[in-house]
A and B are shown apart, each in its own frame.
Chain A
Amino acid sequence: DTGVSQNPRHKITKRGQNVTFRCDPISEHNRLYWYRQTLGQGPEFLTYFQNEAQLEKSRLLSDRFSAERPKGSFSTLEIQRTEQGDSAMYLCASSSGTATDTQYFGPGTRLTVL
């Protein structure tokens, strides 16, 4: 499978715990994005990487959230001290950075904070 992959697919945690999600983009895609989607809503942008550089962050990305893409390939999204309001689907997308620049999404990680 050469699409975007995300792990884990599901995560259940208790409030206050830290969680980390991983995204592996399509090979050779230099742009990587994180979005959050709550039930019944469209995805909302969180942050974006061009290679290893984090170039844009949404106001939705509070101080408890941190994302990295250390080698310009896979990325991790960490949420510290999780809150019930963090429960959502976390989606990763990647794009080639060319003029077309279509974003292709992974299957998402479903986070449930108890």
Chain B
Amino acid sequence: GESVGLHLPTLSVQEGDNSIINCAYSNSASDYFIWYKQESGKGPQFIIDIRSNMDKRQGQRVTVLLNKTVKHLSLQIAATQPGDSAVYFCAENISQAGTALIFGKGTTLSVSS
């Protein structure tokens, strides 16, 4: 699988590999985090979310890990498929204060078969 420790703007993997996309968030007061997938010409699509009282959450083929100590978030995609090719954004929010999502830098995932 492909693993990166720091945010990279692009990630290229082979079909069937596991992908890991990293994100550093900015506000230590943020308590809600979301990963979105955005395909070309479309709006962001919700993938998975996690609250700050958790450090791991699993969905279908996706896992989100949260490390509050270093303000780091990662998205793991198992058995990556060509349909996973898109730009992935993490977003943070302070649920008790404001409602605006703050988006991180996107990562373009390219899956080749």
Q: Which of A93, A102, A103, A107 contacts B42 (CB 8 A)?
A: A107
CA distance A103 to B46 in the complex (A): 8
CB distance from A94 to the nearest CB of B (A): 11
Chain A residue nearest to B95 in the complex (CB):
A101
In the complex, given contacts A40-B106, A106-B43, A108-B42, what are 5 additional A-B residue pairs having Cβ atoms less than 8 angstroms apart?
A: A33-B99, A41-B106, A58-B100, A101-B32, A107-B42
Q: Are A45 and B95 interface neighbours, CB within 8 A?
A: no
A31 cross-chain contacts in B, Cβ below 8 A: 99
Which residues in chain A, 40-55, are within 8 Å of chain B measured between CB atoms? 40-45, 48, 55
Query: Scoring A residues 51 to 64 as 1 if CB is less than 8 Å from chain B, else 0, what string do you get?
Result: 00001101000000
- Does residue B105 face the partner (Cβ distance < 8 Å to A)? yes
Q: Which residues of B contact A (CB under 8 A)?
A: 32, 34, 36, 41-46, 49, 89, 91, 95, 98-106
Q: Is the interface of B mostly helix, strand, loop or mixed?
A: loop
Q: Are B43 and A107 interface neighbours, CB within 8 A?
A: yes
Would you list 13 pairs from A and B whose C-beta atoms are within 8 A, ordered by A residue?
A33-B100, A40-B106, A41-B106, A45-B100, A48-B99, A48-B100, A56-B98, A91-B43, A95-B99, A102-B34, A103-B34, A105-B43, A105-B45
Q: Are A42 and B105 interface neighbours, CB within 8 A?
A: yes
Q: Are B99 and A42 interface neighbours, CB within 8 A?
A: no
